């Protein structure tokens, strides 16, 4: 067996489909967010502006967050020293879970090593512990949620994205007696749209279902205390399980769920992804907590974030660039072709010192390939104008489509998005 050839062939398939992934070698410059040093394949360096970071507020470079990490590492060392069962539960981790439970006004919170792990562990364990559980999962759920649904081994039905009539149909067919778990996201990170959370809560109540919401792209960013869209809309208590990450808006690392004492205790006791892996290091827990506590009491970052995101949409829109209209901080720029999307991204980096990762299938449906722009409070007017000029130049050279026909886009998305679980891509 030619094992090497086999793996090379597998990767060649991706190359042919123009979705072979290349990572940019970056060194973020603390104190000068969103600037970074880029190193090309020949090890030449230059300074660039990052326009696609999920460190949405720049909290990863907040002075107090850095100080918390540094001080805790000095006091307690680096590693956690074990799994949560075997000497890995440390003081900063306990405090972090308290902070998270309070953020979402739940009885308990449980921290995992990443948001991915928290989704996989929580969804699979919850569903497995409910006899005859039926999982109702939004069509565009994140790969980590799909992994949790699959791993549970329980029956699943996919409802069309944010389609409440379809969800109702599936709930009616299942009947009120059968136990059900509805899993969905608050903000879908690729299109920047928001789920009808209150309607989902109403349906869950009517049909006796548990609700599981992924607020990964909203925590820290929305709500008076940064508790996400549910915090903003007063819906936290209507969700049974709220899942989030500390790696995006909070700028650090780790995932979590906030829920009832009973559910948290069951997941703590049954989920292998929680039990058999080393705990998050104390310094990271302390940094995450500093970030969350800061954003609980400060809205300055959130307001500046919304302002700069709106400004970016406005300036790019006025230039007739194909900005997908969103109600959130995410600014998708549709290219509609994998090869051109990659070419646009390369050209932005090489010629204009701007880094925006191309987003291709299977992360988004074919025909909706895009540049996903994430403005932060620290992308100022000058940077936005420079971005516009660079994009106009790239759009002209590559002869990319301008304006955006959202009706066509939606149709394409629904056609390509069949209701089976997609293969897990990034």
Catalytic residues: 248
Rounded to whole angstroms, the Cα distance separating 214 from 188 reads 9
Residue 116 contacts ligand PLP per CB under 6 A? yes
Number of residues forming the site for ligand PLP (CB under 6 A): 14
Positions in 222-261 near ligand PLP (CB under 6 A): 245, 247, 255
| Measured CA distances, 149 to 157, 202, 212, 232 (Å) | 10, 22, 12, 28
Piece of the chain touching ligand PLP by CB under 6 A; list 202-210, 214-222, 313-321, 331-339: 214-222
Residue 363 contacts ligand PLP per CB under 6 A? no
Instruction: Indicate the SS3 state at residue 144.
Output: helix
Q: Which is nearer to ligand PLP, 188 or 355 (CB)?
A: 188
Burial class (CB in 10 A: 0-12, 13-18, 19+), 66: middle
Burial class (CB in 10 A: 0-12, 13-18, 19+), 74: exposed
Residue 216 contacts ligand PLP per CB under 6 A? yes
Strand pairing of 45-50 and 35-39? antiparallel
Binding ligand PLP (rule: CB under 6 A), the pick from 49, 72, 90, 144 is: 144
Piece of the chain touching ligand PLP by CB under 6 A; list 115-123, 165-173, 304-312, 322-330: 115-123
Rounded to whole angstroms, the Cα distance separating 216 from 114 reads 11
* Distance of closest approach, residue 118 Cβ to ligand PLP, in angstroms: 8
* Distance of closest approach, residue 183 Cβ to ligand PLP, in angstroms: 11
- When CB distances to ligand PLP are compared, the closest residue is 115
Instruction: Indicate the SS3 state at residue 151.
Output: helix
Do 254 and 248 meet the contact criterion of CB atoms below 8 Å apart?
Answer: no
Rounded to whole angstroms, the Cα distance separating 293 from 322 reads 37
Residue 375 contacts ligand PLP per CB under 6 A? no
Residue 360 contacts ligand PLP per CB under 6 A? no
* Distance of closest approach, residue 151 Cβ to ligand PLP, in angstroms: 15
Binding ligand PLP (rule: CB under 6 A), the pick from 84, 104, 106, 142 is: 142
Residues 6+ apart with CB under 8 A from 127: 133, 135, 148, 149, 152, 154, 181
Piece of the chain touching ligand PLP by CB under 6 A; list 210-218, 289-297, 306-314, 360-368: 210-218
Q: Where does this chain bind ligand PLP (CB under 6 A)?
A: 114-116, 119, 142, 144, 185, 189, 214, 216-217, 245, 247, 255
């Amino acid at each position: 067996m030619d094992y090497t050839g086999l793996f090379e062939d597998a990767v060649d398939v991706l190359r042919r489909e123009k979705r072979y992934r290349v990572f940019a070698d970056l060194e973020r410059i603390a104190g000068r967010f969103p600037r970074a040093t880029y190193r090309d394949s020949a090890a030449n360096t230059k300074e660039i502006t990052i326009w696609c970071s999920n460190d949405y507020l720049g909290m990863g470079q907040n002075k107090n967050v850095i100080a918390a990490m540094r001080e805790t590492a000095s006091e307690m060392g680096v590693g956690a020293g074990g799994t949560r069962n075997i000497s890995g539960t440390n003081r900063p981790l306990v405090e972090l879970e308290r902070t998270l439970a309070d953020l979402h006004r739940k009885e308990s919170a449980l921290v995992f090593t990443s948001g991915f792990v928290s989704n996989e562990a929580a969804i699979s364990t919850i569903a497995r512990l409910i006899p005859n559980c039926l999982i109702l999962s939004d069509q565009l759920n994140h790969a980590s949620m799909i992994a949790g649904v699959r791993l549970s081994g329980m029956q699943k039905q996919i409802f069309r994205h944010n389609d409440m009539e379809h969800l109702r149909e599936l709930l009616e067919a299942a009947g009120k007696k059968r136990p059900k778990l509805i899993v969905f996201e608050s903000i879908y990170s690729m299109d920047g749209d928001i789920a009808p959370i209150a309607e989902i809560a109403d349906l869950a109540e009517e049909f006796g279902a548990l609700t599981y919401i992924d607020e990964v792209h909203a925590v820290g960013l929305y709500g008076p205390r940064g508790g996400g869209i549910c915090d903003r809309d007063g819906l936290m208590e209507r969700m049974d399980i709220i899942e989030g990450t500390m790696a995006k808006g909070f700028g650090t690392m780790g995932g979590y769920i906030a829920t009832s004492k009973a559910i948290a205790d069951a997941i703590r006791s049954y989920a292998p992804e929680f039990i058999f892996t080393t705990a998050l290091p104390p310094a990271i827990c302390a940094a995450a907590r500093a970030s969350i506590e800061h954003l609980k009491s400060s809205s300055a970052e959130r307001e500046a974030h919304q302002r700069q995101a709106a400004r970016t949409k406005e300036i790019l829109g006025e230039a007739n660039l194909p900005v997908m209209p969103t109600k959130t901080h995410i600014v998708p720029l549709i290219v509609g072709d994998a090869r051109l999307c990659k070419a646009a991204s390369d050209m932005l980096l090489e010629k204009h010192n701007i880094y925006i990762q191309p987003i291709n299938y299977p992360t988004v449906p074919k025909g909706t390939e895009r540049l996903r722009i994430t403005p932060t409070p620290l992308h100022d007017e000058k940077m936005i104008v420079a971005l516009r000029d660079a994009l106009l130049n790239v759009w002209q050279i590559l002869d990319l489509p301008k304006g955006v026909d959202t009706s066509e886009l939606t149709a394409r998305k629904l056609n390509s998005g069949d209701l089976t679980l997609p293969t897990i891509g990034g």
